[in-house]
Amino acid sequence: MELQTLTYIVVGLTFALYVGIAFWARAGSTKDFYVAGGGIHPISNGMATAADWMSAASFISMAGLIGFSYQGYGGSVFLLGWTGGYVLLAMCLAPYLRKFGKFTVPEFIGDRYYSKAARVVAVICLIIASVTYVIGQMKGIGVAFSRFLETTYETGLTAGMVIVFIYAVMGGMKGITYTQIAQYVVLIFAYTIPAIFISLSLTGNPIPQLGLGSTLLTDGTYVLDKLNQVVTELGFAEYTTSTRGSTLNMFMYTMSLMIGTAGLPHVIIRFFTVPSVKDARKSAGWALVFIAILYTTAPAVAGMARLNLMSTIEPTPGTYLAYDERPQWFKNWEKTGLLEYEDKNGDGLIQYSADKSVNEMVKIDNDILVLANPEIAKLPNWVIALVAAGGLAAALSTAAGLLLAISSAISHDLLKGIIKPDISEKSELNASRVAMAFTVLTAGYLGFHPPDFAAGTVALAFGLAASSIFPALMLGIFYKRMNTAGAISGMLSGIGVTLFYVFQHKGIMFVQSTSFLGDMSPNWFFGIEPNAFGAVGALVNLVVAVVVCKMTAPPPKEIQDLVDYVRSPVGEGSAVAH
């Protein structure tokens, strides 16, 4: 069957499945809408959390970043940061937040710091970080849809916005949870099956993680040795040793991703959907298992995909592919504008080099690597169609979770909690859906001019969460002396410093024409790039919060007793009712 037809069928069937599940499990109350009724099984929640977690950045962009922009070893910051952050979240935050028993992260901060002002500041921080995250998802959706519909990125993004809007508004947390379970199954098969095929064809080993450390069937060379040889011959840095900037930048980048991960509200609220604290711990463990399947496969996908791409463009050293004889996948991606060739010397051949003056592959968008990989490796059409469906599943699942977190913050924390406490349940649900619509339009508009690749944009969101929400949560649980003034001062100073640094290099609201220092490494503070600056913002947050706290009155005794209770193993199996 023709690829285009097969892709339409596979993707269409998965869409029908998602919409059917969302309709079957649609929310009937605010408790269904915000926390899926609070009765989700730990294994189910683990799968939903994994789908929520593994966004377009993980599925589409991470392998591309490891393989191209970060030159292999430098891309390990994503694996270490995101995985380590999840462990931090599972061990230090999720069980305690579940025991506290609230609908949203701002609600926890408002009650813990006995202040509506603290709750409002938390809402603002949550919205800034989550909207930035949604922009990254929009980039991923635009890439996947443009390839699936074989149209431009802009048209693909517009189509994706419409789908996300319908999907998110119908779902609520209950619908989103069961849909994310289905999406996890789709995306994990879509990611691992092509990797198995490619590993088998290159090394004879069907396990990609082992294949990356194996020898090639063609000449007996180890895969990573071959990669080092090929990239260095073209003038690039060695694949297995090159770092991303300085060692300090690598460390700060990893820390920013790690603590930002632990502060992301759309993941945290997933632990509010299980019946007890014990179940929250179990679901965190299951989610880690489900996530590890993809994250341990990504380095193999990155390395093998880059090797395949280079072998296609330059089959043997000094022999270049003729542009007129380029394969169909090359032509398809050219249509999207994410792959561009410029014949600089007029010889009609494609030359790929680290030297920009002779390099004729003037644009290889990192985000196309995973989607194009099966075509480059000449895998069967059904595998290619499955990857398209997996990319869309990853982008849609996380986008829905983020939209829910944002709309909950607006309707539940601002409207219900601050502005109009007596609002009816029906009106609150409608307000949440209106907030979702506004967020989709805002993120879609910014998605037309994303500040970075999908994973790069998401990294900015992690930095913003790291500098604002994470310290407030950690101090709220483990430092009972922390008070309102300290928490508010810390959040505002942390996110303020981070935003100032990011905007001066990336542009105000990521519009590059408004950048006044430029995204150039000589302008970076101690060589720390904007995507990694969240760790510095978190440090500022902690220092300011503790200093202000020491200078002001301690919290009331009942608040300090509440912190002791939340941290105590007494009553571990239960949680405060919503």
Compute the average pLDDT of residues 542-549. Answer: 95
Domain count for the chain: 1
More confident residue, 98 or 206: 206
Residue whose C-alpha is closest to residue 191's, from 329, 389, 365, 53 = 389
Rounded to whole angstroms, how far apart are CA atoms 360 and 350?
Answer: 6
Does the structure show a pLDDT above 50 at 578? no
Q: What is the pLDDT of residues 219-233, one digit of tens each?
A: 888 998 988 888 888
Which residues in 235-252 are b (16+ Cβ under 10 Å) and which e? ebbebeebebbeeebbeb
Share of the chain above pLDDT 90, in %: 11
Joined together, the tokens standing for residue 369 give: 């690597």
What local confidence, expressed as pLDDT, does residue 377 receive?
Answer: 76
* Residue 493, domain extent: 3-567
Q: Torsions phi, psi of 347, nearest 5?
A: -95, -5
Mean pLDDT of the chain, nearest integer: 81
What local confidence, expressed as pLDDT, does residue 382 receive?
Answer: 83
What local confidence, expressed as pLDDT, does residue 519 receive?
Answer: 63
Specify the amino acid at residue 364: I
573 falls within a domain: no
Does the structure show a pLDDT above 80 at 349? yes
Confidence of residue 509 (pLDDT cuts 50, 70, 90): low
524: left (phi over 0), alpha (psi -120 to 50) or beta: beta
Q: In this predicted structure, which of 162-171, 274-283, 313-322 has the lowest mean pLDDT?
A: 162-171
575 falls within a domain: no
202 falls within a domain: yes
Rounded to whole angstroms, how far apart are CA atoms 308 and 306?
Answer: 5
Does the structure show a pLDDT above 90 at 365? no
What local confidence, expressed as pLDDT, does residue 510 receive?
Answer: 61
The CA–CA distances, whole Å, from 548 to 119, 242, 333 equal 18, 42, 54
Q: In this predicted structure, which of 2-6, 211-215, 339-343, 381-385 has the lowest mean pLDDT?
A: 2-6
578 falls within a domain: no
308 falls within a domain: yes
365 falls within a domain: yes
Helix (H) and strand (E) counts in the chain: 24, 2
What local confidence, expressed as pLDDT, does residue 428 receive?
Answer: 80
- Answer yes or no: are the C-beta atoms of 3 and 240 closer than 8 Å: no
516 falls within a domain: yes
Does the structure show a pLDDT above 90 at 542? yes
What CATH number is given to the structural domain containing 228? 1.20.1730.10
160 falls within a domain: yes
Compute the average pLDDT of residues 239-262. Answer: 83
Most confident residue range from 1-10, 50-59, 112-121? 112-121
Q: What is the pLDDT of residues 405-463, one digit of tens each?
A: 888 888 888 888 788 888 887 788 788 778 877 877 887 777 776 655 555 567 677 78
